[in-house]
Amino acid sequence: MSGNINERRVISVVVMNESSVLARVTALFAGRGYNIESLTVAPIPESDMSHITIATKGNAKVMEQITKQLHKLIPVYKVIEHEEMVEKEMVLIKFPIAENLSDIQALCKAYNGGIVNVGKEMVIAQVADEPKRIKHFIEAAHRYNPCEIVRGGVVAIER
């Protein structure tokens, strides 16, 4: 790890799936003044556990403090600071139906996505890709006058 304060980090936390666990994890970050860039939570299939994926920024010392504090939380079973990982993020974008749908479809396909819903006035597209590519997709999508953009959080798994 380098000492760069602005280095992006992804941490996975396996916790018991019970009420207020997420509040305790986020309070840990808030209490120390660390920002969470994205946060996803989902139950782990066929278990009583949940997987929390947190994207944040910090240097090696900050990450060490965060992981040590996370290990101290009672419902936490495992903390993984990812080094080698596969990382994906999802985005939903709503476009006016008047825009060129074939161009929007081609753009979405280039970023592992497609049109997922067509209404009377709007088209909704979905893309799931690496966070940097999601950023580029959103920049490219602006030429089609999106009405609404909703990004999901990062999910990651160790290689």
Condensed to tens digits (0 to 9), the pLDDT of residues 9-28 reads 899 999 999 999 999 999 99
CA distance 53 to 12: 5
* Token pair in block for residue 28: 């840990």
Question: Where do the CATH 3.30.70.1150 domains begin and end in the chain?
Answer: 86-158
CATH 3.40.50.12280 fits 86-158, yes or no: no
Cα 44 from Cα 92, distance rounded (Å): 24
pTM, 2 dp: 0.83
pLDDT (tens digit per residue) in 56-67: 988 888 888 888
Work out whether the CA dihedral 113, 118, 119, 123 comes out positive or negative. positive
The CATH superfamily assigned to 7-83 is ACT domain (3.30.70.260)
* Rounded-to-integer distance, Cα 146 and Cα 125, Å: 10
Residue 139 structure tokens: 């920049």
